[in-house]
Amino acid sequence: EVQLVESGGGLVQPGGSLRLSCAASGFTFSSYWMHWVRQAPGKGLVWVSRINSDGSSTSYADSVKGRFTISRDNAKNTLYLQMNSLRAEDTAVYYCATILTGFLWYFDLWGRGTLVTVSS
């Protein structure tokens, strides 16, 4: 079955760190760009970061640049998001997503998401 499964979310204090993982299965993970998209409670979707297929190129939203790092391990079929210096406004469900049917930047495969709560 083609799927993405996020993990690693939880409650963290402001200023803390967390690493999210996204396990891919059912497709050739190493061939696809991967993205993180987040959604604060009751709010809309916000693109966070992307990484190319071999991990050599990344980009970030301005709101997380310098604090978050996207990476991947193609041998483990896993995408990561290292989140440092977390703020209350980082509280959100974090989704990993990709497109399997082309080489563009919309998303036809999403994970179910993992909730990150930043609070003291």
Partner 1 sequence: AIWMTQSPSLLSASTGDRVTISCRMSQGISSYLAWYQQKPGKAPELLIYAASTLQSGVPSRFSGSGSGTDFTLTISCLQSEDFATYYCQQYYSFPLTFGQGTKVEIK
- Among 27, 53, 61, 74, which residue sits at the site for partner 1 (rule: CB under 8 A)? 61
Site for partner 1 in 6-45 (CB under 8 A): 35, 44-45
SS3 category, 29: helix
- Among 14, 57, 106, 119, which residue sits at the site for partner 1 (rule: CB under 8 A)? 106
Query: Which CB, 13 or 89, lies closer to partner 1?
Result: 89
Minimum Å distance from CB 50 to partner 1? Answer: 7
Q: What's the farthest any 2 CA atoms get from each other in the chain?
A: 42
For 1-120, strand residue ranges (E) read 3-7, 10-12, 18-25, 34-39, 45-51, 58-60, 68-73, 78-83, 92-98, 109-110, 114-118
Query: Which CB, 71 or 99, lies closer to partner 1?
Result: 99
Asked whether position 76 contacts partner 1 by CB under 8 A, the answer is no
